[in-house]
């Protein structure tokens, strides 16, 4: 977006546009609170409530909802030890469990100090569930299923099936900078033919001056109420944002989500440059050239909404250029006039509501933003571009400087 801000601001204002635009880790459910597990399951599986004492039917119904798998169980069961088979079926681990020879499962059960008598098959299931972290040893002695147990195991099943949080680590991890840089170094331009055509038409028709292209597989899958996404194009800036959080004693889960910033390249900027892995200008018609530039969203899931609410003041103080400080003295490296950070849940204070017009094709999606007041018109215009796709409008709460920029009122 650096290129967009530096070169496209004139085009943006003249057009009167209202639109803008390594290896993942997973959270360990055993280290997460009951309330947080409940929040996560509600956010991604619409599991709104769970009984204090969970019946077998309720538990297996929730397992099936998460895994979409047929399960083997009896309604006569009472405790977790009898539900090891459906738990491993839902987790995609049953075949692994059945490979365990006696020497292996006996050793694992001994390591976890499991002393209750188990038949050979149940012992295999127990050893597998323990060694993969899906259950805890004390689950095997429970004669009923508590709410906390159910939430923990259900969250572990979500993790095991690739539906848990997808993140690099925590902001206070000693190796977080290496992980951030390794992830960034893996990013290159990606595109989607269907969405490229829709997006180019949207720019050509002046519905938008730019938009972002994202890929679902990088989605952090964080709890929305605790999450902000901070957009930028320089990894050194992301490192300093993490350092800023550390210096303020704020801890957050961290993911780096790639996005391609796509916007019009004006020929009066100079000759079209040669393509690079992270920056390329593509011609779509005689008079339409679009930049494809690799950027990122730094996804942060804070420990509390209180910590999340502190972020705005920190950015305005340490990472925003202003008329009084156009040279960004005393600010983070690569600070912008209009920093961009958004929440998918309502925020008070200096945040303003905007609309993300999402068009999806497979695992790819484009995201042109617009003002809330323009949402109906923009959706109609975007829908008219291609009858085979539809626009899903999602509310976002963005920082005030970016809102002013989106409005075309004040580039500062």
Of 69, 92, 12, 19, nearest in space to 373 by CA: 19
Structure tokens at 118: 């188990």
Q: Using CA atoms, how far apart are residues 186 and 345, in angstroms rounded to an integer?
A: 30
Dihedral angle of Cα 186, 197, 275, 291, to the nearest 10 degrees: -90
Sequence-ordered strand ranges (E) for 127-278? 145-146, 169-170, 210-215, 227-232, 252-264
Are the beta carbons of 125 and 97 closer than 8 angstroms? Answer: yes
Q: How far apart are CA 174 and CA 193, in angstroms?
A: 40
Report yes or no: 82 and 75 within 8 Å, Cβ to Cβ: no
The gap between the terminal CA atoms of the chain, to the nearest Å, is 15
- Could you tell me what percent of the chain has a pLDDT over 70? 92
Q: Comparing C-alpha atoms, which of 263, 220, 254, 259 is closest to residue 17? A: 263
Whether 8 shows a pLDDT value over 70: the answer reads no
For residue 310, pLDDT beyond 60:
yes
Read off the pLDDT of each residue in 386-407 and give the average, rounded to a whole number. Answer: 95
pLDDT of residue 325: 87
Pick 387 or 250 by higher pLDDT.
250
* Contact indicator for 248, 167 with CB cutoff of 8 Å: no
Pair of tokens at residue 240:
């300093």
pLDDT at 57 > cutoff 70: yes
Counting residues of the chain whose pLDDT is more than 90, the rounded percentage is 88
Q: Answer for the pair 129, 155: CB distance below 8 angstroms, yes or no.
A: no
Helices 235-247/176-185 angle, 10° precision: 160
Looking at residue 409, what is its pLDDT?
Answer: 77
Q: pLDDT digit string (tens) for 228-237?
A: 999 999 999 9
Rounded mean pLDDT of 178-204? 97
* Angle (nearest 5°) at CA 47 between 46 and 50: 165
Q: Return the bridge partners of 81, or none.
A: none
pLDDT of residue 11: 36
CA 278 to chain centre: 21
**Which helix or strand (DSSP H or E) is residue 45 part of?**
helix 34-45
Task: Provide the pLDDT for residue 408.
Answer: 87
What is residue 21's predicted lDDT score, i.e. its pLDDT?
35
Mean pLDDT of the 134-158 span: 96
**Up-side HSE of residue 206: CA atoms within 13 Å toward CB?**
7
For the stretch 70-118, pLDDT in tens is 999 998 998 999 999 999 999 999 999 999 999 999 999 999 999 999 9
In this predicted structure, what is the pLDDT of residue 31?
Answer: 60
Distance CA 83, CA 129 (A): 11
Distance of CA 147 to the CA centre of its chain: 27
Per-residue confidence (pLDDT) for residue 12, from 0 to 100: 33
Residue 265, SS3?
coil
**What is the secondary structure of 85-135 as a DSSP string?**
HHHHHHHT-HHHHHT--HHHHHHHHHHTT--S---HHHHHHHHHHHHTTSS
Q: How many CA atoms lie within 13 A of 120 on its CB side?
A: 6
């Amino acid at each position: 977006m650096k290129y967009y801000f530096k070169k496209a601001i004139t085009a943006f204002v003249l057009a009167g546009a209202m639109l803008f635009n390594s290896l993942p880790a997973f959270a360990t459910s055993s280290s997460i609170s009951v309330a947080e597990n409940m929040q996560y399951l509600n956010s991604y599986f619409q599991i709104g409530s769970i009984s204090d004492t969970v019946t077998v039917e309720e538990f297996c119904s929730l397992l099936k909802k998460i895994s979409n798998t047929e399960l083997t169980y009896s309604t006569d069961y009472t405790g977790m030890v009898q539900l090891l088979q459906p738990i491993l079926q839902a987790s995609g681990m049953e075949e692994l469990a059945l490979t365990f020879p006696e020497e292996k499962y006996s050793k694992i059960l001994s390591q976890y100090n499991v002393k209750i008598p188990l038949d050979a098959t149940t012992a295999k299931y127990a050893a597998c569930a323990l060694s993969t972290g899906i259950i805890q040893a004390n689950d095997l002695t429970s004669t009923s299923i508590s709410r906390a147990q159910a939430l923990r195991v259900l969250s572990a099943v979500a993790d095991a099936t690739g539906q848990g949080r997808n993140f690099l680590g925590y902001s206070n991890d000693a190796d977080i900078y290496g992980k951030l840089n390794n992830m960034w170094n893996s990013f290159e331009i990606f595109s989607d033919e269907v969405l490229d055509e829709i997006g180019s038409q949207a720019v050509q028709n002046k519905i938008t001056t730019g938009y972002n292209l994202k890929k679902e597989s990088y989605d952090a899958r964080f709890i929305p109420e605790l999450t902000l996404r901070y957009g930028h194009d320089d990894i050194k800036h992301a490192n300093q944002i993490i350092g800023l959080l550390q210096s303020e004693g704020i801890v957050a889960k961290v993911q780096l989500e790639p996005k391609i910033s796509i916007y019009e390249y004006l020929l009066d900027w100079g000759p079209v440059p040669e393509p690079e892995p992270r920056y390329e200008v593509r011609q779509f018609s005689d008079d339409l050239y679009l930049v494809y530039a690799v950027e990122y969203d730094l996804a942060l899931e804070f420990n509390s909404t209180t910590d999340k609410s502190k972020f705005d003041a920190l950015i305005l103080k340490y990472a925003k250029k202003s008329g009084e400080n156009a040279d960004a003295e005393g600010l983070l490296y690569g600070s912008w006039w209009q920093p961009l950070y958004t929440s998918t849940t309502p925020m008070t204070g200096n945040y303003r509501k905007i609309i993300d017009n999402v068009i999806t094709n497979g695992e790819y999606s484009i995201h042109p933003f617009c003002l809330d007041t323009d949402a109906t018109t923009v959706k109609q215009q975007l829908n008219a571009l291609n009858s085979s796709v539809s626009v899903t409008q999602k509310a976002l709460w963005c920082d005030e400087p970016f809102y002013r920029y989106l409005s075309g009122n004040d580039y500062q």
